[in-house]
Amino acid sequence: MIRDITIGQYYPADSPLHKLDPRVKLFATVIYVIALFCFKGIVGLALITGFLYAVIKISKVPFKFMTKGLKAIVVLVIITSVFNLFATPGDIVFWKWGSLQITDTGIINAVLMTIRLVYLILGTSLMTLTTTPNQLTNGLETALAPLNKFNVPVHSIAMMMSIALRFIPILIEETDKIMKAQMARGADFENGNMIQKAKAMVPLLVPLFVSAFRRAEDLAMAMEARCYNGGEGRTKMKPLKYESRDHKAYAIVIGFLVLVIIAANVVPFPQ
């Protein structure tokens, strides 16, 4: 189940999308989400579908790999669309039972909601699929740098994200190890009711916290020993620099949003 979630996973490939500056991809994702929620009518939908299709093709990420990520949200999509389907009042009522009803607006809303959710997941996961976690942190740090003026510790946040990424696999491995060690002492993590299960977590969580704190202390010392002193006066091995393809990408993304807005105002039908 956890393995099926493709959001946050990176798919290594050599595509123009992988090479784009992470800031462009962050910007494009925001624009895409805006477009997804303000489009109207069939033309708008066609524009977005076309855009999504093109970007997926360019990314060289197999479509199958992406749909695997959808499995995790199937339940969410079904609940939302069922809710929309039965609870939206409309002009033409096809079926009615108590407060439940199926109407024309309900059907349209359910379909639109499903499309929006699926497109949302596909589009945003494409961002993480084509950007390494490091590029992403780097991109966020650079893109959000202006917030420094408002006393937002952008560098520290980015550093924390990057360290978290580094230690998540280590802590997962450690959890597995401690769990096995306690099982060797007869601990039972699987059976019992909620309270017993919660209690059984203590022998796992205490050592895990102790170890995490020890690691944090070690790491802080190792960083200090290597002259880490916060973001000030720091240079970068891989500073972000815009290339011509990044400028082109910005232009395409803005053009896309403009088209979607025009379509929503000029041909806002059906609905």
Partner 1 sequence: MGIIKTKGLVHDFIRRDEEDNVESITTALDHVDLDVKEGQFIAILGHNGSGKSTLAKHINALLSATEGTIWVDGMDVSEEENVIPVRKSAGMVFQNPDNQIIANIVEEDVAFGPENIGVPTEEIWERVEKSLGAVRMTKYRNHSPNKLSGGQKQRVAIAGVMAMEPKCIVFDEPTAMLDPNGRKDVLKAAHELNETKGVTVLLITHYMEEVVDADYVYVMENGKIIMDGTPREIFSRVEELKAHRLDVPQMTLLAHELRQAGLPIPQGILTREELIEAIMKVK
Partner 2 sequence: MSIILDKVNYSYSEGTAYHVQALKDINLKIEDGEFIGIIGHTGSGKSTLIQHMNGLIKATSGGIYFNGQDIYDEDFSMKELRSRVGLVFQYPEHQLFETTIFDDVCFGPKNLGLDKKTVELRAFEALRNVGFPHELFYQPPFDLSGGQKRRVAIAGVLAMKPEVLILDEPTAGLDPAGRDEILGLISQMHKELGITIILVSHSMEDVAKYVDRIIVMNQGSVMYDGAPKDVFRQYKDLEAVGLAAPQVTYLMHELHAQGLPVDLDATTIEEAKRSILEVLK
The residue ranges that bind partner 1 (CB under 8 A) are 132-134, 162-163, 165-166, 169-170, 214-215, 218-219, 221-229, 233-239
Smaller CB separation from partner 2, 152 or 216: 216
Check residue 8 and give left, alpha or beta (phi > 0: left; psi -120 to 50: alpha): left
Q: CB under 5 to 8 A by kind: which of partner 2, partner 1, none does 234 bind?
A: partner 1
CB atoms under 10 Å from CB of 6, counted, come to 23
For residue 221, the minimal CB distance to partner 2 (Å) is 18
Q: What CA–CA distance (Å, rounded) separates 14 from 61?
A: 10
Give the tokens for residue 37.
């929620």
Sites of contact with partner 2 (CB under 8 A) = 174, 177-178, 180-188, 202-203, 206-207, 210-211
Rounded to whole angstroms, how far apart are CA atoms 3 and 62?
A: 17
Q: Which residue has the tokens 């696999």?
A: 169
Which of 185, 238 has the CB closer to partner 1? 238
Q: From the CB of 118, what's the least distance to partner 1, in Å?
A: 31
Residue 237 interaction partner, one of partner 1, partner 2, none, beta carbon < 5-8 Å per kind: partner 1
Nearer to partner 2, 181 or 223 (CB): 181
Tokens of 185: 């002492």
Q: How many other C-beta atoms lie within 10 A of the C-beta of residue 63?
A: 12
203 binds, among partner 1, partner 2, none (CB under 5 to 8 A by kind): partner 2
Report the nearest approach of partner 1 to the CB of residue 147 (Å). Answer: 21
Residue 163 binds which entry of partner 2, partner 1, none, CB below 5-8 Å type-dependent: partner 1
Whole-angstrom distance, CA of residue 26 vs CA of residue 45 = 22
23 near 136, Cβ under 8 Å?
no
SS3 190: coil
Write the burial class of residue 23 (CB in 10 Å: 0-12 exposed, 13-18 middle, 19+ buried): buried
User: Rounded CA gap, 49 and 142, in Å?
Assistant: 30
Name which of partner 2, partner 1, none residue 77 binds, using a CB cut-off of 5 to 8 Å depending on partner kind: none
Q: How far is the CB of 112 from partner 2 (least distance, A)?
A: 37
Question: In the bound complex, what is the minimum distance in angstroms from residue 204's beta carbon to partner 2?
Answer: 8
Select the binding partner of residue 182 from partner 2, partner 1, none (C-beta < 5 to 8 A, by kind): partner 2
In SS3 terms, 35-46 reads as HHHHCCHHHHHH
Q: How far is the CB of 188 from partner 2 (least distance, A)?
A: 7
Q: Which is nearer to partner 1, 79 or 170 (CB)?
A: 170
Nearer to partner 1, 19 or 96 (CB): 19
**Cα 89 versus chain centre, distance:** 33
Q: CB of residue 189 vs partner 2: minimum separation in angstroms?
A: 11
Q: How far apart are the first and last CA of the chain?
A: 38
Q: Which is nearer to partner 1, 165 or 200 (CB)?
A: 165
Please identify, using beta-carbon distances, which residue of 201 and 223 lies nearer to partner 2: 201
